């Protein structure tokens, strides 16, 4: 559907979708396809003391691609993969308040209370919307720096490089944003409004 609209490149801004189908999409379409991956590498490069908590959907934590990424880290055992069912669903309902996720974070992170944590990787592209909630919870329950890592900036830079390398940049005229969803537009409206405001 997107290719039929004439897009010049695709960005799969979902770790689960990337792991499930990036190879097939790249083989099927002649346009550049950029994918995202969790920011585990910069988190593991930190010299801060402690473990790296990687928060993601259950599907992402089970992907071969994700497990291979962790295995390439200098100390794979430093990475603690935490599946967080329910977070993305609540975010998609337009809930972003810092105090609106304590119950779910407690459910998933209680076993790690008191742990020294150098970094927390937001391994789902929904999670940056609740960065404040995650940081708030971490500061209450963990030791260490608890730096938040998000792969979005690196992915955006990679998309820029791909557009330049393929001579697809357009620095003239004006752009517009169109939101499309396979779900109920009324449900996703608050999320779209938040994105439009950025």
For residues 198 and 117, give the distance between their C-alpha atoms in angstroms, rounded to a whole number.
30
* 124 included as an active-site residue: yes
Greatest Cα pair distance in the chain: 53
Output DSSP code: residue 50.
S
Give me the catalytic one of 14, 44, 84, 146: 14
**Closest C-alpha among 160, 124, 123, 153 to residue 32:** 160
Q: Are 11 and 34 in contact (CB under 8 A)?
A: yes
* 14 included as an active-site residue: yes
Give me the catalytic one of 44, 84, 124, 146: 124
| CA dist list (Å): 197 to 13, 76, 78, 179, 183 | 19, 38, 37, 13, 21
**Catalytic residues, which ones?**
14, 124
């Amino acid at each position: 559907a997107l290719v039929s609209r004439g897009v010049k490149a695709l960005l799969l801004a979902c770790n689960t979708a990337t792991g499930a189908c990036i190879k097939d999409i790249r083989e099927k379409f002649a346009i550049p396809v950029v994918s995202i991956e969790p920011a585990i590498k910069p988190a593991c490069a930190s010299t801060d003391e402690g473990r790296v908590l990687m928060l993601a959907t259950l599907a992402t934590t089970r992907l071969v691609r994700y497990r291979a990424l962790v295995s390439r880290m200098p100390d794979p055992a430093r990475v603690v993969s935490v599946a967080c069912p329910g977070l993305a669903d609540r975010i998609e309902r337009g809930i972003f308040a810092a105090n609106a996720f304590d119950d779910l974070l407690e459910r998933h992170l209680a076993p790690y209370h008191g742990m020294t944590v150098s970094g927390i990787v937001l391994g789902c592209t929904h999670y940056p919307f609740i960065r404040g909630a995650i940081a708030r919870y971490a500061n209450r329950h963990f030791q260490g720096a608890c730096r938040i890592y998000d792969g979005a900036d690196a992915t955006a830079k990679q998309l820029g490089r791909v557009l330049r390398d393929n001579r697809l940049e357009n620095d003239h005229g004006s752009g517009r944003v169109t939101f499309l969803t396979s779900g109920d537009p009324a449900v996703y409206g608050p999320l779209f409004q938040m994105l439009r405001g950025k």
